[in-house]
Amino acid sequence: MPTHRLTAMEAIMELDDLKQAWQTIDRRLEQHNTLQLRLYRDGKLDTLRRRLRPLVWGQAMQLLFGALVVMMSAAFWSSHRQETPMLVAGIVMQVYGLTTIIMSGVTLGRLGRIDYAAPVVIMQKQLAGVRRLHVLGGMLVGLPWWVLWLPLLMMFFKAAFGADLYSNLQSWFWINIAVGLVGLSATWWFHRWSQHPSRPRLAKLVDDSMTGSSLRKAQAVLDEIAEFEQE
């Protein structure tokens, strides 16, 4: 009887030992998976930073361009205050330069506030905010060139040759302004038209072209991290 009792106790102890061994293996496996996830995430986040770097450089260059436009435009219109067309051209270009500075500065600020230690969902939301801002900035900075080349041309001819291009070619200017406004309206209409739910492929194509490769690649990196975490 004592032998049977001892055997039962030994069996219970062996089961406890086996249970503890399995728990130890589970803990080590969990630690290994956590380490693997951390290493994978750190590597992908380094890739994410590299993917966003061209966008940061581009926005910095755009900011410098806006500052240059503001300085040149301010110097131009302040020295031609008695000539209304030149005054208007200079002020228009200065407003454009200020808009460029603001949009670039805000975009750089959003990029700098991306929290690389946050969960992937948070980073995806932050990147989506950068994307929306980048698209808006691209429209505000890019689309006005349908007409902005005219005041820029006026400034160039006045500064380089002392010629008043507007006074000599008023009809030509107004025709080109009208054409530019039509082109601007058509571009805006096409963008709105392409976003209709019945045209998903076209909408994606337009969105991708406006988003830029840096943001698309960065979003792909975050998607890869999210997929790995779910496995």
CA distance 85 to 93: 12
What distance in Å separates the CA atoms of residue 95 and residue 223, rounded to the nearest whole number? 39
Task: Kindly tell me if the per-residue pLDDT of 6 is higher than 80.
Answer: no
DSSP 1: -
- Angle 211-215-219 from CA coordinates, rounded to 5°: 120
% pLDDT > 90, the chain: 56
Q: Which amino acid is at 31?
A: Q
Note the pLDDT tens digit of each residue in 140-161: 999 999 999 999 999 999 999 9
Q: Find the angle CA(29)-CA(30)-CA(34) to the nearest 5 degrees.
A: 115
Identity of the amino acid at 143: L
Domain membership of residue 99 as a residue range: 51-230
Distance CA 111, CA 14 (A): 57
| pLDDT score of 104 more than 90 | yes
> How many CB atoms neighbour CB 96 within 10 A?
21
pLDDT tens digits, 113-136: 999 888 888 999 999 999 999 999
Instruction: Note the pLDDT of residue 5.
Output: 53
Q: How confident is the model at residue 195 (pLDDT cuts 50, 70, 90)?
A: confident
Structural domain includes residue 66 = yes
CA–CA gap between residue 59 and residue 213 (Å, rounded): 14
* Between residues 3 and 101, the one the model is more confident about: 101
Residues in the chain: 231
Number of domains in the chain: 1
pLDDT of residue 230: 72
CB 127 within 8 A of CB 222: yes
Q: Supply the pLDDT for residue 180.
A: 95
- Does any domain span residue 5? no
In a domain, 221, yes or no: yes
Reply yes or no on whether the pLDDT at 110 is more than 70. yes
In a domain, residue 137? The reply is: yes
pLDDT digits 0-9 by tens, 27-40: 665 655 555 667 77
pLDDT at 10 (0 to 100): 60
Kindly state whether residue 108 falls inside one of the protein's structural domains. yes
Q: What pLDDT was estimated at residue 157?
A: 95
CA–CA distances in Å: residue 96 to residues 71, 93, 112, 144: 12, 5, 24, 8
- What residues contact 116, with CB distance under 8 A and at least 6 apart? 45, 48, 49, 123
- Per-residue pLDDT, 1: 46
Residue 97 in any domain: the answer is yes
Is there a domain that residue 150 lies in? yes
pLDDT digits (tens, 9 = 90+) for 46-92: 888 999 999 999 999 999 999 999 999 999 999 999 999 999 999 99
